[in-house]
Amino acid sequence: MSSGFDPRLVQRLRHARRVVALTGAGISAASGIPTFRDAQTGLWARFRPEELATPEAFRRDPRLVWDWYEWRRGLVADAEPNAGHRALARLEGLVPDFLLVTQNVDGLHQRAGSRAIVELHGNIHRNKCFAEGTVVAERLDTGERPPRCPRCGAHLRPDVVWFGETLPAQALAEADTAARGCDVLLSIGTSAAVFPAAQLPVTALQSGAMVVEVNKDPTPLSAVATFSLLGRAGELLPRLLEATWPD
Ligand code: OAD
């Protein structure tokens, strides 16, 4: 019986040695974590990023920003990885050289069992000192929100990338190297609108890789990707693995 996937896609994936998966908020949607740019339900349809996700916003109203991230941490704490996360964890064991590059900060890939991960936009579970920029596990127990850095007394902030900030250099370099050297890049659940992450599939294409998009809606990548699969990651990814490695 036909899997419904183009046989050339399946063949190239099966024989790929180096595979990169780039994920965005769409992979966590089925876990109940809101995306950013979906109309109605996306976070940026309900909140203004410049009030919540910039260093200026934090300077202006640290409690508002802190409390918003606490709310998001609560959503993540109540969430479970879904079939899409689990398929990617399985994929890591099926190809010789696999790297998962995520824009998500929710840690659900790790909870699903993925190990080779590069987090381009940080992780919501970590904090760093707003003054020093260093990751801090402890906090001064003053009962304040945001809490304060135990070393210098400045506010702590979530260790995520905000608008106007640069991505962690090592993470970006690792992702870029992987995109240049891979045979297949899967772009999953991302609007392909935020750079530099959105550059990675283009880099892979220019380096001769097959780029497969798995997304609920078309994006700017859809027209240039080698294959664009429209649908939900939690349904399409398990089917794609099944079609590619049937036993
Ligand atoms: P977006 O919200 O921009 O895009 C999510 C994409 O996932 C959309 O194209 C949806 O159509 C698609 N989608 C939704 N549900 C899906 C599902 N079940 N299966 C497959 N696709 C689905 O999120 P990102 O592309 O991750 O940055 O956004 C990139 C960055 O912009 C985020 O990391 C964040 C945000 O501002 C920072 O906070 C720095």
- How far is 56 from 59, CA to CA, in rounded Å? 5
C-beta of 229 in contact with ligand 1 (< 6 A): no
Calculate how far, in angstroms, residue 166's C-alpha sits from the geometric centre of ligand 1.
19
Return all residues near 46 (Cβ < 8 A) that are at least 6 apart. none
Token pair recorded at residue 112: 């699903």
Q: List per-residue pLDDT tens for the chain, 247 residues long.
A: 578 999 999 999 999 999 999 999 999 999 999 999 998 899 999 999 999 999 999 999 999 999 999 999 999 999 999 999 999 999 999 999 999 999 999 999 999 999 999 999 999 999 999 999 999 999 887 889 999 999 999 999 999 999 999 999 999 999 999 999 999 999 999 999 999 999 999 999 999 999 999 999 999 999 999 999 999 999 999 999 999 999 7
Testing ligand 1's pocket by substitution, the residue of 118, 215, 222, 237 carrying the most ligand atoms inside 8 A of its CB is: 215
Return all residues near 204 (Cβ < 8 A) that are at least 6 apart. 20, 179, 180, 182, 185, 211
C-beta of 190 in contact with ligand 1 (< 6 A): yes
Q: What predicted TM-score, i.e. pTM, was given to this entire model?
A: 0.97
Instruction: Supply the residues annotated as catalytic.
Output: 121
